[in-house]
């Protein structure tokens, strides 16, 4: 079985992430979305909430599973026999750090990284910008799934903790 992993913080998952996950799911037999349990980064959503949102948004794909991870991504990959990390590249500004991580992951454990070019519709999109725009009342409804938009506006209004 050909397996790949799509790692990230997914705080929250955006249409840009989903574009990459769906294209990975078309290329591989099984795609694991690995949600980072952030230690230092302050997340708006808990890891369980972030996993729920990814699960809801990827339910239509029969070959996507969602898990959380801590520690090194390559250790997660090794434990599950996953040889490939899939990442989206939005712009040249992503490239330096992504290249560094890809080379480090290959040197640590021989895990390969496959870069997919982000759909230009989403090249400006990041979870951080979505949260900032939404916090100031901007319309992010075409940038994230509806279920995520509902949770985000409730969280920003302080209705769910």
Residues forming the active site: 17, 41, 90, 127
Smallest distance, Å, CB 22 to ligand PNS?
17
Question: Burial letters for 115-145: b for 16+ Cβ neighbours within 10 Å, e otherwise?
Answer: bbebeeebeebebeebbeebeeeeebeebbb
Nearer to ligand PNS, 104 or 156 (CB): 104
Using the rule CB under 6 A, is 88 a contact of ligand PNS?
no
Alpha-carbon span 27 to 40, nearest angstrom = 33
Q: Tell whether residue 104 is a contact of ligand PNS (CB under 6 A).
A: yes
Peptide bond into 12 cis (omega under 30): yes
Least Å distance, CB 155 to ligand PNS, is: 18
- Interface with ligand PNS, residue 73, by CB under 6 A: yes
CA distance 84 to 107: 13
Give me the residues that bind ligand PNS (CB under 6 A), please.
7-9, 36, 72-73, 101, 104-105
């Amino acid at each position: 079985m050909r397996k790949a992993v799509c790692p990230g913080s997914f705080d929250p998952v955006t249409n840009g992430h989903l574009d990459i996950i769906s294209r990975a799911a078309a290329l591989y037999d099984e795609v694991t979305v690995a949600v980072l349990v952030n230690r230092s980064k302050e997340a708006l959503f808990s890891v369980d909430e972030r996993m729920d949102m990814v699960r809801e948004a990827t339910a239509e794909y029969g070959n996507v599973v969602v898990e959380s991870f801590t520690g090194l991504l390559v250790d997660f990959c090794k434990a599950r026999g996953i040889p490939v990390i899939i990442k989206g590249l939005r712009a040249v500004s992503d490239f330096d750090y992504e290249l560094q991580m890809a080379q480090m992951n290959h040197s640590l454990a021989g895990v390969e990284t496959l870069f997919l070019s982000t759909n230009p519709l989403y090249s400006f999109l990041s979870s951080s910008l979505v949260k900032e725009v939404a916090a100031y009342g901007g319309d992010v409804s075409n940038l994230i799934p509806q279920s995520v938009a509902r949770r985000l506006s409730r969280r920003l209004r302080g209705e769910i903790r």
